[in-house]
């Protein structure tokens, strides 16, 4: 369990974020075209896994845009943006923002994702959504960097994410 805040109010998550050095937990999530995809479908690529409460919030939107721009400059890196938003809403968001370097994945069919990654909010007005977290995975899905953002309304540390990709 992690304690994070939402506008200064404490919230608990279910479980803990996977540790650096461990293999990322397997998942099956829903893509924009309503197909089920697994983490192994992205093997061979380094990955930024950006987990957000909803793309329909200002901080999540800014984060998706910044990561989209950064990934465009990197070779062999995929950006997986994961939220509980429906795939239709995720696709509409990316289309409206002209985001071409984002793979959106929805947890709507996979309630266990939030528990496996320690990001499911357990209480308060956002219960059931995911907290804001970022993981960087190598091509073999080992976690090389992880951040559970302590305040949901705060952006992740982009510089540290990008530095982890350069190691």
pLDDT at 16: 92
* Active-site residue flag, 94: no
Which residues lie below 8 Å from residue 66, measured CB to CB, with a gap of 6+?
Answer: 155, 158
pLDDT at 2: 84
Which CATH architecture group holds 3-165?
Answer: 3-Layer(aba) Sandwich (3.40)
| Dihedral-angle region of residue 21 (phi above 0 means left; psi in -120 to 50 means alpha; beta otherwise) | left
Among residues 14, 29, 60, 143, the one annotated as catalytic is 60
- C-beta of residue 87 within 8 angstroms of C-beta of residue 106: yes
Per-residue pLDDT of the chain (167 residues; tens, 9 = 90+): 788 999 999 999 998 999 999 999 999 999 999 999 999 999 999 999 999 999 989 999 999 999 999 999 999 999 999 999 999 999 999 999 999 999 999 999 998 999 999 999 999 999 999 999 999 999 999 999 999 999 999 999 999 999 999 87
Burial (Cβ within 10 Å: 0-12, 13-18, ≥19) of residue 134: buried
pLDDT at 166: 86
pLDDT at 30: 98
Which tokens belong to 34?
């309503």
What is the model's pTM? 0.95
């Amino acid at each position: 369990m992690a304690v994070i805040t939402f506008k200064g109010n404490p919230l608990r998550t279910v479980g803990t974020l996977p540790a650096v050095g461990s293999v990322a937990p397997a998942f099956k999530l829903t893509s924009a075209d309503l197909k089920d995809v697994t983490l192994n479908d992205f093997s061979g690529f380094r990955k930024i896994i950006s987990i957000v409460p909803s793309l329909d919030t200002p901080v999540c939107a800014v984060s998706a845009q910044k990561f989209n721009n950064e990934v465009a400059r990197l070779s062999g890196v995929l950006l997986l943006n994961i939220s509980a938003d429906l795939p239709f809403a995720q696709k509409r968001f990316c289309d409206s923002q002209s985001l071409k370097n984002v793979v959106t994945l929805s947890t709507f069919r996979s309630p266990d994702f939030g528990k496996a990654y320690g990001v499911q909010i357990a209480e308060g007005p956002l219960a059931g959504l995911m907290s804001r977290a970022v993981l960087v995975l190598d091509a073999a899905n080992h976690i090389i960097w992880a951040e559970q953002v302590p305040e949901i309304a705060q952006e992740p540390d982009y510089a540290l994410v990008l530095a982890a990709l350069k190691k």
